[in-house]
Structure 1
């Protein structure tokens, strides 16, 4: 019954997020954003195992999202009363940056994620942010707000992998990974929403595999990945790690290479430098993670040792990261 309740509220949250993308009024965007957040609360608190610390993460998430929504609402009220006021865009930029968890307003991400279940981490850290980013209005009326928003995204791309390298727990590692990829999604929105949806789909599928692998092994500490990560999923995990490392022709490399090409064409050298620097740090971080996950059973990890379903999931992850990357590079 509890699992059914989680599915129902998650479905309602997704429906609200989808409606958010098709409304033209900023007011209804704000309404659907709040509805999505409210429906997320029962899903996040519906831990299948009894856990006393769930309230800390849910409460932090709800308070931060409520405060961000309040800033967006105040900005709309100011806009209705004084359309030329620059404070409107400033408050709206602050509200959306807080809801997304961009640096320096990322303080809530790790504090919430460490108490979420892995399903909640996936939805809040990957799925829900896609809809919010696509709903963020352009701050063309006040260029300084647009600059602050995009620079915050670029700093997030650098800070995320650095914090990932110092993460002790798996869930805090996923939190800072979310900060990193949220920054990249915001940068993608600069070149067009179609690019946001392309990378968001790729990122969400990869994070689904990653969260599922961590959940199946009950992984808690980064240093224990070698023993906690199931042996039959290690091949798939290594393919995700190599993709996030930025090795060609894996999928993550192909998408970032596309964004770099667009940045060069649009003559935005700062974005190129930031993406390359972030990719270099990610390379170091994921090599470290792969070395943690590697163990003396490396030879056995390349042989199918799980059930049929587990082996199919593992092979699907490898195909997704390697062969889909090759297909994506041929397409673009």
Structure 2
């Protein structure tokens, strides 16, 4: 892609998200979401491949449906209440419709069906943008309208997302689909705690971005898109396999890695809010996710492929990939748990 076109599209991505962050008017927020969607469509379709075109079409139709629902809900609220401000979502019908539309935008269950298929058709870097940056603006709107929303709706969305995100990833052989179900599960953790402790939602979002970025970048560095290709990575780059295993275990929430921090604090907060049954169900669904992460780690570290390596030994070649972002996100995804008290002090 032409670097000027790429710079324009990336600038539009930033502009759309910033516009949504800064808006208090529904039309302005809707405009930011639309700029965001239209900017990422060419990035998704830049590889002229039938799967990429199919994924782009599915994504466009899904996001257009969600944007139309948001516009309809905000118009309904303005018609019933006489205001366009986001903080005045007094109509329960409009607020429920907005939450459903935003759940469709970020892939919360039961509106999650598009996400694994779309992510499977993209390359790893575009999938990274879709899994991290594209979640920011809709989540900001969910946080804004959460206080005017029925708590039962958010609880159901969160529980279903963690359950389906854990259950759906169990039988996957494609790494991008596995990471898509991982994203669905993490979104559920963020949404379920939103009504009780919004600062924990923000902390879970930041740690999720660190861990997912590290996972995508390690897979990109090892050129792995399927589980069976992971079995040969150890012979090419043993250090990268160690990093990838730690990052995947961190995504699963295993102590003493960073991913344990948000899950631990969210379960603690749910117990404080006298919701032990919901906390128990969330912990059980986290075990489902941990199982398929352990399965990937087993494929990487404890199996030897029956095939001989057909590729040239990579340590004889000069690498051209930038390793600084990978190193930064890996350190953040693995080693932030001891900083938990300082992080809590910063965000509260």
Q: Do Structure 1 and Structure 2 share a fold, with TM-score over 0.5?
A: yes
Q: 1:18 to 1:271 in 2, by over 3 A?
A: farther
Q: 1:124 to 1:181 in 2, by over 3 A?
A: same
State the match for 1:14 in structure 2. 14
Of residues 79, 97, 121, the one that matches 2:127 is 121
Q: 1:86 to 1:327 in 2, by over 3 A?
A: closer
Answer yes or no: is 1:23 the counterpart of 2:35: no
Answer yes or no: is 1:131 the counterpart of 2:143: no
- Secondary structure of 2:188's counterpart equals helix
Displacement after TM superposition at 1:32 (Å): 0.9
Listed one character per residue, the Cα deviations across residues 74-93 of structure 1 (whole Å, up to 9, x for unaligned) are 11222222237543233222
CA distance in 2, matches of 1:255, 1:213: 22
**Alignment map for 1:128-207 (pairs within 5 Å):** 128-136=134-142, 137-138=144-145, 140-141=147-148, 143=150, 146-207=151-212
Bigger shift: residues 1-10 or 100-109? 1-10
Of residues 235, 242, 249, the one that matches 1:235 is 242
State the match for 1:283 in structure 2. 290
1:236–1:317 contact (8 Å) kept in structure 2: no
Displacement after TM superposition at 1:149 (Å): 3.2
Displacement after TM superposition at 1:279 (Å): 1.9
- Secondary structure of 1:165's counterpart equals coil
Listed one character per residue, the Cα deviations across residues 181-225 of structure 1 (whole Å, up to 9, x for unaligned) are 111222242234432332222211211111112122322322331
1:43–1:120 contact (8 Å) kept in structure 2: yes
Q: 1:166 to 1:236 in 2, by over 3 A?
A: same
**Alignment map for 1:25-174 (pairs within 5 Å):** 25-47=25-47, 50-83=48-81, 86-136=92-142, 137-138=144-145, 140-141=147-148, 143=150, 146-174=151-179
2:200–2:265 contact (8 Å) kept in structure 1: no
Displacement after TM superposition at 1:141 (Å): 4.9
Listed one character per residue, the Cα deviations across residues 11-69 of structure 1 (whole Å, up to 9, x for unaligned) are 3112211221121122211111111111111222223xx42321100110011000011
Normalised TM-score (structure 1): 0.86
Bigger shift: residues 15-24 or 85-94? 85-94
Displacement after TM superposition at 1:111 (Å): 1.4
CA distance in 2, matches of 1:317, 1:29: 30
Structure 1 unaligned runs (5+)? 298-304
- Secondary structure of 1:215's counterpart equals helix
CA distance in 2, matches of 1:134, 1:85: 19
Displacement after TM superposition at 1:163 (Å): 1.0
Displacement after TM superposition at 1:257 (Å): 0.9
1:6–1:46 contact (8 Å) kept in structure 2: no
1:235–1:314 contact (8 Å) kept in structure 2: no
Q: 1:132 to 1:312 in 2, by over 3 A?
A: closer
Bigger shift: residues 33-42 or 222-231? 222-231
1:236–1:314 contact (8 Å) kept in structure 2: no
State the match for 1:324 in structure 2. 336
